Amino acid sequence: MRAKSYAKIAIWTITALVTAFAAATHIACGTQGDIIGGTTAWPVSGTKPWAKLDLGDGVLALLAPEGEVYLEPCLIKALGHHWIYFERRVVEAREDGLDYATHSEILVAKGRNAFDYEIEYDGLPVLYPTQDWEGEFVGAPTILQREDNSLVMWYAGGVAAGIGRAISHDGGETWEKDDGPVMVADQKWERGFVGAPSVIYHNHLFRMYYSGGEVTETSTGQFAGRLIGYADSPDGIHWTKRDHLGNNSKDDGNNVFYIMGPTQFWEGADEVNPDPYIGGVNSPAALMTNQAGRNVLLLYYGGNLVGDPILHEMSVGVAGAYDYNTFTKAPIIEMNPVVNQNFDLNLWGISEYLGYSEYSPSVIQVTFDLFLMAFAQTDPLAELTGGSRGIGLAQNPPPRDAAAGG
Amino acid sequence: MRRLLAGLTLFALLIPAAAWATPYDTFGTGARSIGMGMAYGAVGGDASAMHYNPATIVKASTFQLEFGYRVGDIALEMNDRQSDIDQDRGFTLGVVIGKTLLARQFRIGVNVYTPDDHFMRFYLPQRTAPVFLRYTNINHMQATITGGAFEIVPDIWSIGFGSSFVSSNTGGVDFLLSEDEGARGNLVTRLASKATPVIGTYVEPLEWLHFGLTYREKREQSLGLPNRIDLGNLKVFKDNGIIVFQEGLEILQVNSSTHFSPRQINLAMAVEPNDSFIWSLDATHYKYSEMKSNVAFSVANLTGDLGQVLPSDPPLLIPEPKTHDVWGVATGVEYKAIDNPKFQLHTRAGYNFRPTPVAEQTDVSNLLDSDTHIIGAGLGFTFADFSEVFPAPITLDIFNQFHYMEERTMRKHDPTNDFGDVKIGGYANSIGATFILRFN
């Protein structure tokens, strides 16, 4: 009888120990994981998905007033802050009812953080046309911070006149320009136009991606190119244009090819009778990323149906390269364009879909798993209704509670 | 009365409940077998043997109950970040009953693993989502194996069989969308089940030498959701009767293979030179080449005017999983460190190598896996002094199981891949216990 009691005590003791063991390990060991199980830490490559950020009732990060267009943003983190340098283009309506640009200059907005910007210097430009070759237009800035904390800017000047360079030693308030452009159109494919540069510094060279080809002024006042070229330079002043076939402007004169042209339908490409001057890709933004120890160069760009005066249907696409000038575009199934948001307009009881226009992207990697894009945006009826024109932001990956805007 | 209760319990568990077997494949079952590196095909003797080799349950007592619990972290990494896969955590229940007939042992048994969080969670990843082959969503599958075994030649040769029950959830949405009547409809689902066999044989040609051979059929989990959406007439204005689009019907069939465990052949050997020591060695062939893509795909068919207006997207290509057959090996030892009439202490250790069956994921698919080393260690405490309650000894087995996945980088051909190159690696670490009550 006594042994039986001991046995019962032993069994209950062991059962209690097992239960306590289970409970303790349940509490002490590790984390629960996310609700799906392993989805919150997916790798982020900066390609897709993107979601436009609603910065309060859909207000853009920088909203252009009537009569102006904000475009060609350059989003950078420099000197401990986030900045958006951008082009302000003043437009006026002419007899055909559309807006055309009269002049442009470069402004800067300082970020309170990566998402919240305010225009600096009371809206006065930090760079404006002063040299003959610039005519009435400077814009499309791209900026790098140097080791001595000075800033160097490359910018487009004039109407397809070239690319200039300027340096700031006071954090971007004042800039010293070089005399004349550092790059002009001299290749056949450029047809007299170069602009919208994007410069990175990698492997001891400055590397520039720029727009070229026929220039078309859109109804938003943008000078849109059709093709994208590449050049590199040891000093940022003397540039050698190169293509993916091995040609370079030093040895091959004006026979260097563009590195990317319109080939996908959303870029306006003629898929039946391919012609690089039908449709367009332009305003490139280069970003060197690192994927599991390998460098991957991403090139964001605008693609559009150039020539459509009302519905540009401009969107942002992405291409990538494992070198500097051999790019593969993201496929059109589930990928390109990566920022192409539509809105639902209920017109006379019939649902119709019209697209916003997104163009002139600029992208930075904020953290290991967050990419931020600034882009120029208009709504499709901006010309008719005075709709919003300005600089918007998108992020990859989208916020957890946001729908993808791709 | 005890036997009747146990029999009814076993009968209830034989009803094919929703079950996936994956936790067994990845983590094993039973503290003793896990402590021995899951090299258990020629060892057995408890309810966990239903998974490793059902023929070996003839070595179990004629009535025993087993209760287990395990918990651990799955700390695998993608690009040097924790992948945040939820914990490996759940209960195990095992029952073996049997009888001696015609001088031969007959046993039936069941082994059930139940997560303590979700009973079952379907996971339909997007087409390119990173999925760890043997770990993602693994703790959200209930697994049941039930079957029996008997001796052909007493003490020398036995055969066993079992069934692994796999459930399948089918159904879909039946919906009416109408401007006039609003939307109404319902979601219809039903649970089906599918059994796959496990067959094993066990031979003791010599008292100290044991062999096992087990065949496990592949197990596939599929999810089919046929959705039917009736679209009413779409009018210019609600009451004017001018119809813009005639009514139509949308059929959206979503199909997915949500789980796969490969066909397996296990060759096992155990050497037991004396009553205190066992060494076991298993080799398992995993036929992963039969694996289908695990991603969902859908086929949409839209009729009526809307069907003529709305463009249909091109069908998505389902990425090939790119898997191949592999051989895995495992070895384990058990040593009886303390042996007296009232108490026994067994110490165990084991190693299990699982080469990856997954080729480098260079395209859009992201099925992630790498060569994995599994180390097990365990202790067994057997108490024999409860003879007035339990005629046979009771045992508490505990284990620690450590998975180490080798670092591996999947390089993409396309630099615009939405996840890019993926470097994986990491570990999973679990502890657990099994409590065995023997009544005969």
Distance CA A103, CA A96 (A): 19
Using CA of residue A23, residue A28, residue A29, residue A33, what is the dihedral sign? positive
What pLDDT digit, counting tens, does each position of B21-64 carry? 468 889 999 999 999 999 999 999 999 999 999 999 999 999 99
Nearest by Cα to B377 from B399, B407, B361:
B399
Residue with the two structure tokens 């949405």: B173
Q: Three-state SS for B24?
A: helix
Residue B10 parent element (H or E): helix B2-14
- How far apart (Å, rounded) are the C-alpha atoms in residues A195 and A223? 9
Nearest in space to B228 (alpha carbons), one of B171, B178, B180: B171
Joined tokens for residue B176 = 């009416």
The closest CB to that of B435, out of A7, A14, A289, belongs to A14
CB contact under 8 A, A321 and B415: yes
Instruction: Identify whether the C-beta of residue A174 lies closer than 8 Å to the C-beta of residue A148.
Output: no
d(CA A370, CA A299): 17
**Cα–Cα distance between A195 and A159 in angstroms, integer?**
9
Please state, in angstroms and rounded to a whole number, the distance separating the CA atoms of residues B363 and B417.
8
Which value, in Å, is the radius of gyration of the alpha carbons in chain A? 26
Chain B residues whose beta carbon lies within 8 Å of the beta carbon of residue A330: 414, 416
What is the CA angle B250-B255-B261, rounded to 5? Answer: 175
Strand partners, B95: B65, B110
Q: Are B302 and B253 within 8 A, CB to CB?
A: no
What is the reported pLDDT for A345? 43
Residue B270, token pair as written in the block? 């155990």
> What mean pLDDT comes out for the span A366-392?
75
Return the structure tokens found at B35.
């402590």
One-letter amino acid of B355: P
Q: What is the pLDDT of residues A259-293, one digit of tens each?
A: 999 999 888 888 788 888 888 899 999 999 999 99
Q: A131 near A163, Cβ under 8 Å?
A: no
Which chain A residues have a beta carbon less than 8 Å from that of B88? none
Task: Collect the ranges in chain B with pLDDT lower than 50.
Answer: 1-21
Phi, psi of B265 (to 5 degrees): -125, 125
pLDDT for position A242 = 97
Does B71 contact A at CB distance below 8 Å? yes
Query: Which residues of chain B neighbour A335 with C-beta distances below 8 Å?
Result: 416, 418
Alpha-carbon distances of A286 from A220, A229, A300, B97, B103, rounded to whole Å: 24, 12, 6, 70, 80
Mean pLDDT of A62-68: 83
Contact criterion met (CB below 8 Å) for A376 and A391: yes
**Count of all residues that appear for chain A in the document:** 406
Radius of gyration of chain B from Cα atoms? Answer: 26
**Residue B120 corresponds to which tokens in the numbers above?**
């079952």
ipTM above 0.95, yes or no: no
In angstroms, rounded to a whole number, what is the distance separating the alpha carbons of residues A358 and A349? Answer: 27
Through-space distance between the first and last CA atoms of chain B, rounded to whole angstroms: 15
Using the Cβ of B389 and the Cβ atoms of chain A, whether some distance falls under 8 Å is answered with: yes
What is the C-alpha to C-alpha distance for residues A308 and A162, in angstroms, rounded to an integer?
26
Higher pLDDT, A297 or B393: A297
User: Residues B146-181, buried b or exposed e (16+ Cβ, 10 A)?
Assistant: bbbbbbeeeeebbbbbbbbbbbbbebbbebebeeee
- Provide the b/e sequence for A160-174 (b: ≥16 CB within 10 Å): bbbbbbbebeebbee
| Whole-angstrom distance, CA of residue B380 vs CA of residue B30 | 12
Residue B346 pairs in a beta bridge with B336, B380
Cβ atoms < 10 Å from Cβ of B187: 11
- CA-CA distance, B297 to B133, in Å (whole number)? 19
State whether residue B420 sits within 8 Å of chain A by CB: yes
Cross-chain CB nearest to A296 (options B71, B79, B420):
B420
Q: How far is CA A354 from CA A248, A314, A406, in A?
A: 42, 11, 15
Q: pLDDT per residue over A159-217, tens digit each?
A: 878 999 999 999 999 999 999 999 999 999 999 999 999 999 999 999 999 999 877 66
State the best of B418, B430, B436 to mutate against chain A, taking most chain A CBs within 10 Å. Answer: B418
Paired sense of beta strands B209-216 and B277-287, if any: unpaired
Q: Flag whether residue A30 sits within 8 Å of chain B, measured between CB atoms.
A: yes
Close Cβ partners of B261 (under 8 Å, ≥ 6 residues apart): B21, B22, B25, B216, B218, B219, B220
Q: Please tell me the distance in Å from B51's CA to the nearest CA on chain A.
A: 23
Residue A358 to residue A374: CA distance in whole angstroms: 10
Domains, chain B, in order of start with CATH, read 2-438 (2.40.160.60)
Q: Chain B window 249-278: which residues touch A at a Cβ cutoff of 8 Å?
A: none
The dihedral over CA atoms of A196, A200, A201, A206, expressed in degrees to the nearest 10, equals -20
Q: Are B418 and B380 in contact (CB under 8 A)?
A: no
pLDDT of A8 higher than 70: no
Mean pLDDT (chain A, rounded): 83
Query: Encoding tokens for residue A157?
Result: 């000047």
Tokens for B1?
């009365």
Residues of A in contact with B85 (CB under 8 A): 33, 37-38
Q: In the numeric block, which tokens belong to residue A304?
A: 């559009």
Residue A370 — pLDDT band, cuts 50, 70, 90? Answer: very high
In whole angstroms, give the CA distance from residue A319 to residue A296. Answer: 10
Could you give the percent of chain A with pLDDT greater than 90? 53
**Euclidean distance between CA atoms B312 and B316, whole angstroms:** 11
pLDDT at B10: 37
Q: From CA B354, how far away is CA B217, in angstroms rounded? A: 19
Q: Kindly list the strands in the beta sheet with A99-111, ordered across the sheet, starting from the edge strand earlier in the chain.
A: A68-78, A81-93, A99-111, A117-119
For the stretch B248-277, pLDDT in tens is 666 666 666 667 889 999 999 999 999 999
Q: How far is A17 from chain B (nearest CA, A)?
A: 10
Checking if the pLDDT of A30 tops 60, the result is no
Interface contact A292-B433, CB threshold 8 A: no
Phi and psi (nearest 5°) for A148?
-85, 15
Check if B119 contacts A (Cβ < 8 Å). no
Q: Is the pLDDT of residue A84 over 50?
A: yes
* B86 touches A at CB < 8 Å: yes
Q: Say whether pTM exceeds 0.90.
A: no
A263 chain-B contacts, CB cut-off 8 A: none
What is the DSSP code (8-state) at residue B124?
-
Q: Lowest-pLDDT range, A68-72, A237-241, B56-60, B257-261? A: B257-261
The answer to whether B219 and B166 are in contact (CB under 8 A) is yes
Among the listed residues B327, B320, B252, B223, the one whose alpha carbon sits nearest the alpha carbon of residue B284: B327
Write a three-state SS string for chain A.
CHHHHHHHHHHHHHHHHHHHHHHHHHHHCCCCCCCCCCCCCCCCCCCCCCEECCCCCCCCCEECCCCEEEEEEEEEEECCEEEEEEEEEEEEECCCCCEEEEEEEEEEEEECCCCCEEECHHHCCCECCCCHHHCCEEEEEEEEECCCCCEEEEEEECCCCEEEEEEECCCCCCCEECCCCCECCCCHHHCCCEEEEEEEEECCEEEEEEEECCCEECCCCCEECCEEEEEEECCCCCCEEECCCCCEHHHHCCCCCCCECCCCHHHCCCCCCCCCCCCEEEEEEEEEEEECCEEEEEEEEEEECCCCCCCCCCEEEEEEECCCCCCEECCCCCCCCCECCEEEEEECCEEEEEECEEEEEEEEEEECCEEEEEEEEECCCHHHHCCCEEEEEEEECCCCCCCCCC
B102: left (phi over 0), alpha (psi -120 to 50) or beta: left
Average pLDDT, chain B: 82
Is B420 in contact with A48 (Cβ distance < 8 A)? Answer: no
Interface contacts A/B by beta carbons within 8 Å:
166
Residue type, A121: Y
Closest Cα to residue B83, out of A265, A285, A40?
Answer: A40
E strand or H helix that includes residue B367: strand B367-368
Q: Determine the Cα–Cα distance for residues A73 and B219; give it in Å rounded to an integer.
A: 54
Which residues 36-95 of A are in CB contact (within 8 Å) with B? 36-49
